[in-house]
Structure 1
Amino acid sequence: MTVRAVQVIARADVIAYHSARHGRSIARSIAAEHLRADHIEEALIYPVTTESTDHPGGYRGALDEFYESAAARLAVHLDAGRTVAVISEGDPLFYGSYQHMHKRLAHRYPTEVIPGVTSVSAAAARLGKPLAEADEVLTILPGTLPEEELTARLASTDTAVVMKLGRTFPTVRRAMDRSGRLSEAHYVERATMTGERTEKLADIDAETVPYFSVSVVPSRIADLPPSTGTATETATATGTGTGTGTSTGTATAGEPSGPGEVVVVGTGPAGPLWLTPESRGALAAAEDLVGYTTYLDRVPLRPGQRRHASDNKVESERAELALDLARRGRKVAVVSGGDPGIFAMATAVLEVACQAPYRDIPVRVLPGVTAANAAAARAGAPLGHDYAVISLSDRLKPWEVIAERLHAAAGADLALALYNPGSRSRTWQVGKARELLLEHRAPDTPVILARDIGGPEESVRTVHLADLDPHQVDMRTLLIVGSSQTQAVRRDDGTQVVWTPRRYPEG
């Protein structure tokens, strides 16, 4: 208890506290030595806690009625000029019962809230482990959340505390396991109180877990050796895409200690807003990050991680580097833009991983928001019906194959998402594609030019197919070509939306 809390209790006329129907109050037991014989005590006893109720308003209705009644009881004392101290374990406004009194009384009577030590701080102190350090993000979660939500939030954060365990413990434990955080998680029961217990969460029997317990996933940085920093290395290609890449300094990544893991992570088209929780968690947990420099720059720097940056034309070399690191027992994240399985790094990693000596290295692919979906969302819903995704780059396949696929997709009246339409060295493909598509599409077919979606230079424009100018297209642009049914409509607010109806005319 704080000194201020003791002072307030000493001069209060009335001491109020919440409890379940058994009548025992943890808050009262904490403050017991400071209570006087002449204190008026108001035990605010919940009509229900976790059980069902036949109240006509259901569980919420029963609690609302109780809070109104409890507030009215305290108001009688306040109106009589008595000072009321509502005592609450932890901090009154942090998942505390007092907050329901506060909302009903604070606007009517002079009120002072005395902050307290939360169970979060008490648990970290008892564990002797920092909750968060440097730029780490701490997430506090109620165990009553659905398992999927808990899993996603645990995967995406740096450090976490899950409260309100008890009957929620099995769900919380599964969420810890599914999010890959179980090995890091600690269990703290009744921190700073009689019956305190601290153990690894994985070792806890669910039948022994009370409500007043928390799970703590502490700082990762705190467990790093003092000399560990953030290393950036440069991967350099020494071959021509046959898996002979090297990385300066990789011999220092550690001696073989059994297979590690490679996770291929999609960052979305740009920035952290496009990251899935699972991908965010994988990037945070990785010991090594491997990827094209531009994509690595999107990932926040973390102490202890090593970065292996390279040019965007050495995919096989990057894959081999990642798998070599995993053979040394490292947890490696291969960073890819967009979705790693769509014209990106997943194929390169799996191709090498299916060769000796990498076939026993675990490899996972995590999906990301691909550029086609991001661009379509910005424009409206141009991919609302069947569509095809085609790369116009002829670096890895001949133009004749691209042209044949364009003919087939356009002839089938599919909307098209065209990746890699042009670059400094490829300036004619967009013009040839326009000519080919005009054989199957009307000149006024909507074409969306989506550039740098999610980035600082984002632009989305819609033109007619006949007016598509190749000079306005570069490698940061994605093209979406509508089908014969695609509509471009100017709405009353001045915005234009492009959409393809899901219903197709009967033949």
Structure 2
Amino acid sequence: MAGRLYGVGLGPGDPELVTVKAARLIAAADVVAYHAARHGRSNARAIAAEYLRAGQLEEPLIYPVTTETTDHPGGYQGAIDEFYAASADRLAAHLDAGRDVVVLAEGDPFFYGSYMHMHKRLAHRYETLVVPGVTSVSAAAAVLGRPLMERDETLTVLPGTLPPAELAAELAGTGSAAIMKLGRTFAGVREALDRAGRLDDAWYVERATTDLQRTGRVADVDPASVPYFSLILLPSRAAAAFMAGEEIPAAAKQGTVTVVGLGPGSPEWLTSEARAALAQADDVIGYGPYVDRVPARPGLRKHASDNKVEAERAAFALDLAKRGRRVAVVSSGDPGVFAMAAAVLEVSEDPQWKNVPVRIVPGLTAAQAVASRAGAPLGHDFCIMSLSDRLKPWEIIAARLSAAAAADLVIAIYNPASQSRKEQLVRARDLLLEHRNPHTPVVVGRDVGGQQESVRVTTLGELDPATIDMRCLLIVGSSQTRMLPRTDGSAQVFTPRTYPS
């Protein structure tokens, strides 16, 4: 009867982080195998040493090459593939003889682990069990005391062997991140972090949980001192607002929060006041696509996050300002219209931020931008509403929409639909038709000011909710709104400034 194969994770280095199951299997195994460099020393064996017993067979799997060159005809990859095949054959001989084999793996066997190469070659032939271990990423976050992610944040794990340009592109578009495989790649990784504007956020951890553990900011680490068993963390941005003791250089005697409206999309619609606020900022915080609209520059730290963490984003901004940073919180359009200004002021009610100045810099609204493209549909009394029921119940939306329609106001509708909200606009259209003629003009603006801008004019009766998404804004005319045909076949929409008595 063939033996069983075990891939056993040992955790990051501290023998006390070996799981109870891993310790039991190591002690019971007939054969213990482990990978090692040519000098013969194995970190994995050192971690497991206290769990080994007398009389066990040991199989050191010695790499033929690590960082040095090789004269193998297949080059480095050829030498490594040949080594893995030979190692698998050695383990198979024990398994065929009925011996149970434990292959030791630092961290987790399936997380950049060498064990997986044995697994691919043997698991289909023998009964196999993989025992997970604490990863180096989890250990690094623990020794730093910095959470990796919370709520809707994401974690990206990247190899430092990527070209710096490719790595920078990945880092610029992600939240929390861990970068593995350092050593000789460290200089290129640091270059990528700098390119992506993330260097000041990056933390270095070497040999986490061991007696040789070392931590610090990546910017302060000597590349020549970096071993392979190290990694870089970009921890949770939301959690960073509540981290005690983090050293943040104060660029100003008084930190401030400025909530900046970027306008609907076109750089031409960014006001001079907004440009000045961004130029003076040490940190820019906001929803990822909006932060991307702010050009990178030396010394500027950009903190992008998901669009559902407004309160956490506001707290992060206020906390940075409390410690002396000049912070710009960016919103599309005007920050006071369904955007971050209200969120920042609401969070700032907490006494811990009572001394942090908050300033609002207005921006051109999406409603104004769409109206200008169509003509002058907002020429008389109008209101602005959002159809999103994420922060208020639909019953309130329906009541307000009916009241606005009954009052014969032009209505600018934000957030008309999304992938998860399709029925709201159907219901809204039905409510409006109870008060408005089906021939009432409706302006549909999509991505106005952006590269995919489109503006079309239809009627309330012909409006197809299926053609509307989150990037659209609707302007529904009043009883007085008119369509003015032009000789080129287009039409402009306007609402007269007078109202019949």
TM-score range, shorter chain: 0.5 to 0.7
Is 1:62 the counterpart of 2:68? The answer is no
Letter aligned with residue 305 of structure 1: R
Shift of 1:120: 0.5
Matches within 5 A, 1:351-430: 422-423=456-457
Going from structure 1 to structure 2, the CA distance change for 1:454 and 1:335 (only over 3 Å counts) comes to closer
Matches within 5 A, 1:339-358: none
Whether the 8 Å contact between 1:288 and 1:330 is mirrored in structure 2 is: no
Going from structure 1 to structure 2, the CA distance change for 1:280 and 1:33 (only over 3 Å counts) comes to farther
Is 1:331 the counterpart of 2:328? The answer is yes
The aligned counterpart of 2:49 is: 32
Q: Deviations over 1:46-99 (max 9, x none)?
A: 111122322222222211111111000000000000010000110011100000
Matches within 5 A, 1:189-268: 189-225=206-242, 259-260=280-281
Is 1:171 the counterpart of 2:168? The answer is no
What secondary structure does 1:53 align onto? Answer: coil
TM-score scaled by length of structure 2: 0.53
Going from structure 1 to structure 2, the CA distance change for 1:13 and 1:262 (only over 3 Å counts) comes to closer
Output the CA distance in 2 between the equivalents of 1:87 and 1:178: 38
Going from structure 1 to structure 2, the CA distance change for 1:89 and 1:276 (only over 3 Å counts) comes to farther
What secondary structure does 2:233 align onto? Answer: strand
Whether the 8 Å contact between 1:94 and 1:118 is mirrored in structure 2 is: yes
Letter aligned with residue 12 of structure 1: A
Shift of 1:233: 10
The aligned counterpart of 2:136 is: 119
Output the CA distance in 1 between the equivalents of 2:55 and 2:72: 36
Shift of 1:184: 1.2
Whether the 8 Å contact between 1:143 and 1:168 is mirrored in structure 2 is: yes
Output the CA distance in 2 between the equivalents of 1:70 and 1:242: 63
Q: Deviations over 1:240-282 (max 9, x none)?
A: x997999xxxxxxxxx9992169899x9xxxx9xx69956998
Q: Could you tell me which runs of 5 or more consecutive residues in structure 2 were left unpaired when the two chains were aligned.
A: 1-17, 244-256, 264-268, 316-324, 334-371, 377-450, 460-466, 474-487, 494-501
Specify which of 205, 217, 224 is matched with residue 188 of structure 1.
205
What secondary structure does 1:305 align onto? Answer: helix
Whether the 8 Å contact between 1:182 and 1:202 is mirrored in structure 2 is: yes
Specify which of 310, 313, 317 is matched with residue 305 of structure 1.
313
Output the CA distance in 2 between the equivalents of 1:242 and 1:63: 56
Q: Deviations over 1:186-221 (max 9, x none)?
A: 111001112111111111001110000011111111
Letter aligned with residue 160 of structure 1: A
TM-score scaled by length of structure 1: 0.53
Shift of 1:285: 6.7
Whether the 8 Å contact between 1:235 and 1:245 is mirrored in structure 2 is: no
The aligned counterpart of 1:97 is: 114
Whether the 8 Å contact between 1:159 and 1:220 is mirrored in structure 2 is: yes
Going from structure 1 to structure 2, the CA distance change for 1:158 and 1:287 (only over 3 Å counts) comes to closer
Letter aligned with residue 217 of structure 1: L
Output the CA distance in 1 between the equivalents of 2:154 and 2:146: 15
Percent of counterpart pairs with the same letter?
50
Whether the 8 Å contact between 2:260 and 2:328 is mirrored in structure 1 is: no
Output the CA distance in 1 between the equivalents of 2:87 and 2:262: 67
Going from structure 1 to structure 2, the CA distance change for 1:111 and 1:278 (only over 3 Å counts) comes to farther
Specify which of 87, 94, 97 is matched with residue 77 of structure 1.
94
Whether the 8 Å contact between 2:283 and 2:326 is mirrored in structure 1 is: no
What secondary structure does 2:215 align onto? Answer: strand
The aligned counterpart of 1:162 is: 179
Is 1:14 the counterpart of 2:31? The answer is yes
Is 1:87 the counterpart of 2:84? The answer is no
Output the CA distance in 2 between the equivalents of 1:84 and 1:210: 30
Specify which of 104, 119, 126 is matched with residue 109 of structure 1.
126
The aligned counterpart of 2:22 is: 5
Alignment: residue pair count: 313
Output the CA distance in 2 between the equivalents of 1:178 and 1:418: 28
What secondary structure does 1:152 align onto? Answer: helix
Letter aligned with residue 280 of structure 2: P
Whether the 8 Å contact between 1:187 and 1:199 is mirrored in structure 2 is: yes
Output the CA distance in 2 between the equivalents of 1:100 and 1:335: 49
Letter aligned with residue 313 of structure 2: Q
The aligned counterpart of 1:50 is: 67
Output the CA distance in 2 between the equivalents of 1:86 and 1:225: 41
Greater RCO structure (CA 8 Å; 6+ sep): 2
Whether the 8 Å contact between 1:231 and 1:306 is mirrored in structure 2 is: no
Whether the 8 Å contact between 1:77 and 1:84 is mirrored in structure 2 is: yes
C-alpha RMSD of the superposition: 4.6
Going from structure 1 to structure 2, the CA distance change for 1:302 and 1:38 (only over 3 Å counts) comes to farther
Whether the 8 Å contact between 1:8 and 1:85 is mirrored in structure 2 is: yes
Specify which of 128, 139, 144 is matched with residue 145 of structure 2.
128
Structure 1 runs of 4+ with >3 Å offset: 230-236, 241-246, 261-265, 275-282, 284-289, 298-307, 332-336, 391-395, 417-425, 451-457, 468-471
Output the CA distance in 2 between the equivalents of 1:45 and 1:183: 39
Letter aligned with residue 259 of structure 1: Q
Whether the 8 Å contact between 2:207 and 2:230 is mirrored in structure 1 is: yes
Specify which of 129, 154, 168 is matched with residue 137 of structure 1.
154
Going from structure 1 to structure 2, the CA distance change for 1:242 and 1:212 (only over 3 Å counts) comes to closer
